[in-house]
Structure 1
Amino acid sequence: MTPLQETSHGFVIDTKPDNIPSQITKNIFLGSQDCTEINVLQKFGINYVLSVGIEVEHHAGIIYKFTPCLDLPETDITEILKNDCFDFLDMVVLSGGRVLVHCNAGVSRSSAIVIGYLMLKDGVDYDEAYDVVKRVRVVARPNDGFIRQLKRLTWSRSK
């Protein structure tokens, strides 16, 4: 079995420890569930955790948000982003906090959420947001369904 092998479980099997989060922006970190260990969060000054599809142990002093999400091409990642994740990420960024966005392996679901957030927040297209993420987290690779959805992502906000 390879370190990251897709299964019919709706997620990527993570068999190799990956406990160093990738800093995408001043406030946003991307990583695997291994990065949710308290010593890792403290080392990087992370005080918020957005768990995408994977529930993790909670630690005192950290604010957590969980959103259900399967790593399947037919999962509507844009609705999850818009309805469950965008406002949480925006609150963290605007407050000056630091957030870890993670899924199981930090490859597909969490990277799709971060890419989508950058697209909506910064008004950039998929390729530009993907390049920002990929430069820092080389294993980032949303599944093909997420990529198709993100490439069509638009959102007018009246806030």
Structure 2
Amino acid sequence: MVICVEAVPSTSRRMPSVSFKVNAEYGRLTELVPGLFICGVSAINEDMLKQYNFSYIINATSEVPNFRMYGRTPRVKLWLDDTLDACIYHHFDLQSDQIQQIISQGGRVLVHCLAGVSRSASICLAYLTKYVCRSLRESYNLMNIKRPRVRPNLGFWKQLIKFEEDIKGTPASITLLKDDAQEGGLLPDVYCKLASIRTENSTVDAESKKEYRVRHYSGQKKFHPVLEPLLEVVEATA
């Protein structure tokens, strides 16, 4: 799904066009807990923004601009790349506190990245771990029920695990297992559990299999978004 959006430049100088094409199934809007929403860029449009009237928008990317249609809505751009060596840890505490403050006052927060799979999911997992759930594992299980296709990259998982240990003061609830087939050679054990569930249900009929895979996708195939021309004017600064 491709959406055309226009952003207001912070100066009168017209900025270069930017384009994105993202699978709508990955990008769709999901409410994880009351007041906290996550999506990819393909879900963002004026109708959606008017319907949900967000109090705060977190853009967890470096490549996606803030859009004109955001109007006066407070927002922040984290300038994160979806790479194994990207440092996201220092955003966890600050953004979690900001999300909690807004939700506690009855507001709504939108966290987005390009696909709604890795960067935005990591920020949401940090919030859920700090304020909603007893552990990172419980946070992931909650998110997986609401949004099965989330898959933070390995570097983000390592930082999420450290964040859990730091704020909870307990041993990590998620273990990284050796798996040479994965980028970075490690795999969070929560993915292995989901894969096992799929294997145990391999005897169901073909239609049931299809439905099960949609609902319990373990994310074994890394999502690679496709970028292609799409007219847009971006802000000079985020």
Matched, 1:75 2:86: yes
Aligned to 1:10: none
Shift of 1:61: 4.8
Structure 2: distance between partners of 1:123 and 1:17 = 28
Higher relative contact order (CA 8 A, sep 6+): 2
After TM superposition, give the deviation of residue 117 of structure 1 in Å.
Answer: 0.9
User: 1:34, 1:68 → 2: CA distance?
Assistant: 19
Report if the CA contact (8 A) 1:51-1:64 is conserved: yes
Is contact 1:48–1:98 with CA below 8 Å preserved after alignment? yes
- The question of whether the paired residues in 1 share the 8 Å contact of 2:117 and 2:151 is answered with yes
Q: TM-score, normalised by structure 2?
A: 0.55
1:13-40 CA deviation, whole Å, 9 max, x = no partner?
Answer: 7532356310001010011012332211
Q: Deviations over 1:108-140 (max 9, x none)?
A: 000000001111113522111011111111111
Percent of aligned pairs sharing the same letter: 23
The partner residue of 1:64 within 66, 75, 78 is 75
- Measured in 2, the distance between the counterparts of 1:15 and 1:42 equals 22
Offset from partner CA, 1:62-90 (integer Å, 9 cap, x none): 2222111111122222212224x223212
Check the 8 A contact 1:125/1:151 in 2, yes or no.
Answer: no
- Quick one: distance in 1 between partners of 2:122 and 2:90? 12
Question: Unaligned regions of 5+ residues in structure 2, if any?
Answer: 1-19, 169-238
- Trace 1:86-105 onto structure 2 (pairs within 5 A): 86-105=96-115
Residue of structure 2 in register with 1:25 after alignment: 33
Amino acid at match of 2:23: K
| TM-score (norm: length of structure 1) | 0.79
Call closer, same or farther: CA 1:35–1:63 in 2, change over 3 Å. farther
Deviation at 1:98, TM superposition (A): 0.7
RMSD, aligned CA? 2.1
Q: Cα gap change, 1:47/1:71 in structure 2, threshold over 3 Å: closer, same or farther?
A: same
Of Structure 1 and Structure 2, the greater strand share is in 1
- Structure 1 residues 126 and 14, CA, compared in 2 at 3 Å: closer, same or farther? farther
- Which residue pairs with 2:52 in the alignment? 44
1:113-152 aligned within 5 A:
113-122=123-132, 124-152=134-162
2-structure distance, mates of 1:124, 1:107 = 22
Structure showing greater Rg? 2
Match for residue 16 of structure 1? Answer: 23
Give me the whole-angstrom Cα distance separating, in 1, the residues matched to 2:47 and 2:59: 17
Give distance in 2, aligned partners of 1:133 and 1:123.
Answer: 11
